[in-house]
Structure 1
Amino acid sequence: MSTETTASVSTHILDTSIGKPAAGVSISLAARTGLHGEWAALGGSATDADGRCKDLPALPEGTTHVRLDFETETYFSNKQGEDKQAEAQQDAPRVRDSGAFFPEVTITFAVNPGEHYHVPLLLNPFGYSVYRGS
């Protein structure tokens, strides 16, 4: 992979409802060449304990658009179980509703050869925000 002819992508997720990284979120990566090109699935990974996904597949030469699919429903379902366990142990009310309004988040963006794109996702059960980071 030549960094002069291909773009690269990284991401991380912060669960803003608890102020902590979102660990264990599955992420799929797809790419296409041209506005009307076919999407090619490139593979995926999952966020680590720090909410980072450091091993996304490399983009093929000529990639112009990238799609990241975040599987958020499983993450929030797992958090719901953890919240119930913590509530039972501490006999305290839950801090937040544990349902996920968005079962998945898909972010599509354009890329230029040779540039790196860090795309953080700020996530909570009822909303999200994304931006181009550094």
Structure 2
Amino acid sequence: MRYLLDADTISFFVRRHPTVLDRLKATPPELVAVSSITAMEIEFGLQRKPERRASVEPIVAALFEAVEVLPYGLAEARATAAVRAALERQGQPIGAYDVLVAGTALANGLIVVSGNVREYRRVAGLAAEDWREPEV
């Protein structure tokens, strides 16, 4: 199993959430990825709050260096479009960044790790976990 970290999970990591830290330490880095979309979300947060850059950027940079940062390409775009269309047909739109992360996960066969699993579990064929919860 390979995992795709959502922006909120990275935020929990930066804030040293104990179970998120434990899960990341227990998971080999080659099994963890971050979408370039999520990297943009994190960078946007740092641009909005530059006073946090000095304390947050080294932590995030180390994480991004240790795991694969996946580009967003044609396969991801097609998967994203399919997810968005399916959910809109059901009258259940999904957030703009969440659908991009979901498409990336589906295109690459990854499990999304997010504190917002309810949003991701609406996506057919997509597995999602919340690493704030203890492992069962």
Q: TM-score range by the shorter chain?
A: under 0.3
TM-score by length of 1: 0.26
TM-score, with length taken from structure 2:
0.26
Higher helix proportion:
2
Q: Which of the pair has more CA radius of gyration?
A: 1
* Higher strand content, 1 or 2: 1
